[in-house]
Amino acid sequence: MSAFDKWTERLTRRVARGTSRRSTLAWLGATITGAAVFPVLPVARAAAGSPHGGAGGHAPISSGNPQDPGDQASCDYWRYCAIDGFLCSCCGGSVSTCPPGTEMSPITWVGTCANPADNRAYVISYNDCCGVSSCGQCLCNRNEGDRPQVRPQSNNDYNWCLGTESSIYNCSTAVIIGVAMDGQK
């Protein structure tokens, strides 16, 4: 073991003679900074889904009803034409129900979306699910028909959780209220 100890001592002394404390600290600081910056380097996000935010890595969710076509975990789903937030269908709920542990806000904003299955316009109620911090999955921000904040019932930029026990936002649903009158899209 003494040969190993002597070799280690010689190597340590050689390194100590050839480097200063400042250069060692500079090298260590550069390494730590480089490691911290590495996660923010640009990467290809082509598989992230639609240009609106998409489903990310989620499997497609379909209603199975030919009158309700599309992927409910995709921002391109027809009911999401005026939505702004995380999709409850990716967060443990569905297109019309909140995830467990959250509460659906009784205060909503509305939009009118065209169903590609029958080419009719439907009134959609967008309800926020509240009570648990944001789920952070399937962000979707589509502003078709969005109105200024002076018309809050048609604006998706408010925190609609004010009518619940907790004002903490989790995700948003898109519930069909009914068929829109002709020419009212």
Closest CA to 129 of 156, 91, 155: 91
| Distance set, CA 112 to CA 76, 107, 177 (Å) | 15, 17, 10
- Predicted structure pTM score: 0.60
3-state secondary structure the chain: CHHHHHHHHHHHHHHHHHCCHHHHHHHHHHHHHHHHHHHHCCCCCHHHCCCCCCCCCCCCCCCCCCCCCCCCCCCCCHHHCCCEEEEHHHCCCCCCCCCCCCEECCCCEEEEEEECCCCEEEEEEEEEEECCCCCCCCEEECCCCCCCCCCHHHCCCCCHHHHCCCCCEEEEEEEEEEECCCCCC
Per-residue pLDDT of the chain (185 residues; tens, 9 = 90+): 789 999 999 988 888 888 887 888 888 888 888 777 766 655 544 444 444 444 455 667 766 677 778 888 888 999 998 888 899 999 999 999 999 999 999 888 888 889 998 989 999 998 899 998 888 889 888 876 655 555 555 555 566 787 788 888 899 999 999 998 875 44
Catalytic residues: 109, 128
- How does pLDDT run across 13-67, given as a tens digit for each residue? 888 888 887 888 888 888 888 777 766 655 544 444 444 444 455 667 766 677 7
